[in-house]
Structure 1
Amino acid sequence: MAVVMKQLDRAEQAIEAIQSFRDKCSKQAQESLDNVLIDLYKKCGKLDEQIELLKQKLRMINQGEAFNGKPTKTARSHGRKFQVTVRQETSRILGNLGWAYMQKTNFAAAEVVYRKAQEMDPDANKACNLGLCLMRQARFAEARHVLEDVIEGKIPGSDETKSRDRAEELLEELELCKSKFSPISGFNNIEDAFSKGLDQLMSQWAPLRPRRLPIFEEISPVRDQLAC
């Protein structure tokens, strides 16, 4: 029902329907409902709700609930079943979280989650988004390096024309932004965004628990990575 409402451009009503009736659905259906909700929040521009739900999904993986402590799970897309690893799913969710942070213009937080997503399961689309994050922070040399990696085919998915075209478009935008950038006027905004991003990111991860999957040991030292 919620999917039909979404297709009819009645996203707000679809959200209300899911929130009202999800307690009547099976435990197995909850993850699918979360995925639909994330799409609906994105469609409605409910960024805070989208971010919170994405972080909740990360906590569930962290605590071993989403994968039941296993390294893979069966996923479905367009009627097709396939296996997804913890790394792939975590990277996908981090990529969505990074995009949500970008919509809130919190580019420092977006950068951190995109970098971690790329470490786990790199792809050209997230690389382009990371390059855009760096551009918005006026870190043009770093952005150029990331985007050139896509164009040179160094990142999985770089062979897709759409990804290369986007990287080339972003490089053109980079040159335009660089010519207009004023270091004095932009510095404080960059530092403010960095501080806010660090504070938000450090509060998003769940506490350590016995069922914690090993992969999340790689996510915890975020502050150390930012300090480098």
Structure 2
Amino acid sequence: MQLVDKDYEGAIVLFWKALNSGDRVDSALKDMAVVMKQLDISEEAIEAISSFRGLCSKQSQESLDNVLIDLYKKCGKIDEQIDLLKQKLKLIYQGEAFNGKLTKTARSHGKKFQVSIKQETSRLLGNLGWAYMQKMNYMMAEAVYRKAQMIDPDCNKACNLGLCLIRQARYEEAQLILEEVLKGKLPGFDDSKSMKRAQELLKELRSMIPEQYLSDFLGLDDELIKGLEQLVNEWSPVRSKRLPIFEEISSFRDQLAC
């Protein structure tokens, strides 16, 4: 009904019957949640996972978490999404993700492929950074994206990092990162998508540059540039160099100690 007839309502009825009779609960719960998301009843899908995941195998919990993250994103439940992403990162830190293995087999569009712990960590950090951006916590999002880029860099996260810096009025840093994307040297470079987004962000950046920063883009002499930078430093409040995400990630150890 789901795949051939496209009868999603009928498929949900059968998934419920499978869950209540204990028939392939792992796949029935996951597939039903995906169908519910397609029907824009994500709240019901979240409730179903919460009610039935206790009947599912340990091996299925990670995939159910991934479905939940998508559902939280669909519903705008940003805080719940952040909490779950942190929980999954904590499992990686504890060595419990992927059932203790360094890789796992994933499936997308009917094709199987291998995912490493390194790739999964970077992916989760990218999702966490995006969630912080939705809360307009750009300093925290920047810290997360920087950490993700250190682990497994790609163009999409680089563009998001550039956007975080633009939102913090740190135009020079943003320009350098976006120009790096346009050079095509980062993994995941895509001529059509990544380049277009980087170009759009650079255009937005240049339209927002305050007058005191124009010298950097117009190529004025170094002495004038240094003078303007000194004025900016005098006007700007002192900002801590320690990024908060490292405090949050390091707090995992404190939680474990408790």
Is residue 138–residue 181 contact of structure 1 (8 Å, CA) maintained in 2? no
Local SS of the residue matching 1:73:
strand
Q: Which amino acid aligns with 2:191?
A: E
Structure 2 equivalent of residue 213 of structure 1: none
Is residue 33–residue 45 contact of structure 2 (8 Å, CA) maintained in 1? yes
Local SS of the residue matching 2:98:
coil
- The CA distance in 1 between the partners of 2:74 and 2:212, in whole Å, is 32
Structure 2 equivalent of residue 14 of structure 1: 45
More contact order relative to length (CA 8 Å, sep ≥ 6): 1
Q: Are positions 1:202 and 2:247 aligned together?
A: yes
1:80 pairs, out of 111, 117, 120, with 111
Structure 2 equivalent of residue 55 of structure 1: 86
Larger Rg, first or second structure (1 or 2): 2
Structure 2 equivalent of residue 170 of structure 1: 201
Local SS of the residue matching 1:160:
coil
- The CA distance in 2 between the partners of 1:75 and 1:55, in whole Å, is 21
Local SS of the residue matching 2:132:
helix
Local SS of the residue matching 1:81:
strand
- The CA distance in 1 between the partners of 2:199 and 2:208, in whole Å, is 14
Trace 1:2-41 onto structure 2 (pairs within 5 A): 2-41=33-72
Count of residue correspondences: 205
Is residue 41–residue 50 contact of structure 1 (8 Å, CA) maintained in 2? yes
Q: Which amino acid aligns with 2:172?
A: A
- The CA distance in 2 between the partners of 1:159 and 1:17, in whole Å, is 38
- The CA distance in 2 between the partners of 1:11 and 1:74, in whole Å, is 26
Gaps of 5+ in 2: 1-31, 214-231
TM-score by length of 1: 0.81
Return the offset for 1:32.
1.0
**1:114-139: CA deviations, max 9, x gaps?**
01111111110000000001111111
Return the offset for 1:70.
2.8
Structure 2 equivalent of residue 157 of structure 1: 188
Pair 1:181–1:46, CA change in 2 (3 A): farther
Local SS of the residue matching 2:113:
strand
Q: Which amino acid aligns with 1:113?
A: V
Is residue 59–residue 99 contact of structure 2 (8 Å, CA) maintained in 1? no
Calculate percent identity across the aligned residue pairs.
64
Return the offset for 1:146.
0.3
Trace 1:105-116 onto structure 2 (pairs within 5 A): 105-116=136-147
Structure 2 equivalent of residue 218 of structure 1: none
Return the offset for 1:2.
1.2
- What RMSD in Å do the two structures reach over aligned CA positions? 2.6
TM-score by length of 2: 0.72
User: Is 201-210 or 161-170 further displaced after alignment?
Assistant: 201-210
- The CA distance in 2 between the partners of 1:41 and 1:67, in whole Å, is 22
Is residue 150–residue 164 contact of structure 1 (8 Å, CA) maintained in 2? yes
Structure 1 equivalent of residue 162 of structure 2: 131
Pair 1:132–1:140, CA change in 2 (3 A): same
Return the offset for 1:152.
1.0
Gaps of 5+ in 1: 211-228
- The CA distance in 2 between the partners of 1:125 and 1:208, in whole Å, is 32
Structure 1 equivalent of residue 15 of structure 2: none
